[in-house]
Amino acid sequence: MSRVAYVNGRYLKLSEAAVNVEDRGYQFADGIYEVIHVFDGRLIDAERHLERLARSLRELRLPAPMGAAPLLRVIAEVARRNRVREGLIYMQVTRGVARRDHAFPNPAVPPALVVTARRTPPFPASAAANAVAAITQRDQRWARCDIKTVGLTANVLAKQAAREAGAAEAIQYDADGMVTEGASSNVWIVDAAGHLRTRELSDAILPGCTRAALIGLLDGTGVTLDERAFSLAELRAAREIFVTSATSFVKPVIRLDGTAVGDGTVGPVTAALFDRFAAHVRGDGRNAR
Ligand code: PDD
């Protein structure tokens, strides 16, 4: 079965789906995107992703290509045509096609919308099955990392550095030695004093939908969150480290720059939060669209 993409109003075979060479996403990375996890045919945390999409559009002064309800219908149709019951949805909006000129096209052109879907391996059976190694590296990105733009050059280089080091994620830190986030994830630690920490929201990190969902799931776990940035030294001294994203869920980091984190196995807080998030994904009533 060939895969199908939605491109500006049409459903096309992926091999035939294309955008114009003067699309501003292609020439300027002048666009934004979202990635949504699909489990059992449901979009996980759909509302959060659509709200963030709307925010990214506003921040870049991009017009919305369509309203939330028709967009959800397109997403469902792309998932259906690709027979994706477990996988991910990718969607991207750019400022459209115009003769190359840095400033916005005048008169404005319609935004370009692309939606694709693909299957992913089954949801990990346990936290341990989802554990990875990570490296650290200086954050080289721009000053508005809170916007989910398709301008990902620094993230690409960070991820490639991780891959070449035999790791799955690059944990980035700023000029003050404070951890920002992963190349494609938010970062959490259980610090040396036993407190769960993740950096507070600002323009330095993406407001992760998985991050927000997990914060909402802490109730009743006995775990309290200290939403406060931590340093590279605190990261190295952490009892537990994990990262979150729509594609990695709660992902334990058990080696950092080649050294074991804690005793090198998944810690108890990470394991409990993995289970809690897995229940959320499997559908404990909070994911209804
Ligand atoms: N990335 N920070 C960055 C830089 C990210 O790219 C992502 C997600 C996150 C986590 O956000 P969320 O929990 O909403 O997925 C944090 C997606 C998965 C990607 O680029 O493929």
Provide the CATH number for the domain around residue 205.
3.20.10.10
The pLDDT value given to residue 285: 52
Place of tokens 């984190």: 261
Contact yes or no for 138/177 (Cβ under 8 A): no
Domain boundary among 119, 139, 165: 119
Q: Determine the Cα–Cα distance for residues 130 and 112; give it in Å rounded to an integer.
A: 35
Is 8 in the same domain as 53? yes
Q: Determine the Cα–Cα distance for residues 165 and 136; give it in Å rounded to an integer.
A: 11
Is 134 in the same domain as 275? yes
Is 157 in the same domain as 228? yes
Q: Is any ligand 1 atom within 6 A of the Cβ of residue 116? A: no
Kindly give the number of the ligand 1 atom that is closest to the alpha carbon of 155. Answer: 4
Contact yes or no for 162/135 (Cβ under 8 A): yes
Q: Is any ligand 1 atom within 6 A of the Cβ of residue 247? A: yes
The pLDDT value given to residue 1: 72
**So which residues are the catalytic ones?**
148
Q: Reduce the DSSP state of residue 95 to 3 states and report it.
A: coil
DSSP letter (8 states) at residue 218: -
For 282, residues 6+ apart whose C-beta sits below 8 A from its C-beta are 39, 40, 123
- Closest among 197, 198, 171 to 182, alpha carbons compared: 171
Is 138 in the same domain as 256? yes
CATH number at residue 74: 3.30.470.10
Judge residue 47's burial from the number of C-beta atoms within 10 Å of its C-beta, 0-12 exposed, 13-18 middle, 19 or more buried: middle
The pLDDT value given to residue 287: 46
Contact yes or no for 120/87 (Cβ under 8 A): yes
Contact yes or no for 6/84 (Cβ under 8 A): no
Q: Which amino acid residue places its CA nearest to atom 8 of ligand 1?
A: 184
The encoded tokens of residue 288 equal 């209804």
The encoded tokens of residue 88 equal 């991910």
Is 100 in the same domain as 164? no
DSSP letter (8 states) at residue 191: -
pLDDT tens, N- to C-terminus, the chain (289 residues): 789 999 999 999 999 999 999 999 999 999 999 999 999 999 999 999 999 999 999 999 999 999 999 999 999 999 999 999 999 999 999 999 999 999 999 999 999 999 999 999 999 999 999 999 999 999 999 999 999 999 999 999 999 999 999 999 999 999 999 999 999 999 999 999 999 999 999 999 999 999 999 999 999 999 999 999 999 999 999 999 999 999 999 999 999 999 999 999 999 999 999 999 999 999 975 544 3
Q: Is any ligand 1 atom within 6 A of the Cβ of residue 210? A: yes
Of the residues 33, 35, 141, 247, which should be mutated to test ligand 1's pocket, given the most ligand atoms within 8 Å of the CB? 35
**Strand-pair category, 186-190 with 240-245:** antiparallel
The pLDDT value given to residue 178: 98
Q: Identify the domain containing residue 134 by its residue range.
A: 128-286
What's the number of domains the chain is made of?
2
Is 78 in the same domain as 12? yes
Q: Is any ligand 1 atom within 6 A of the Cβ of residue 35? A: yes
Q: For the chain, how far is it from start to end, CA to CA, in angstroms?
A: 28
Is 99 in the same domain as 166? no
Is 174 in the same domain as 230? yes
The pLDDT value given to residue 288: 42
Q: Determine the Cα–Cα distance for residues 7 and 10; give it in Å rounded to an integer.
A: 5
Contact yes or no for 89/117 (Cβ under 8 A): yes
Is 212 in the same domain as 265? yes
Q: What angle do CA 83, 89, 90 make, to 5 degrees?
A: 135
Is 13 in the same domain as 101? yes
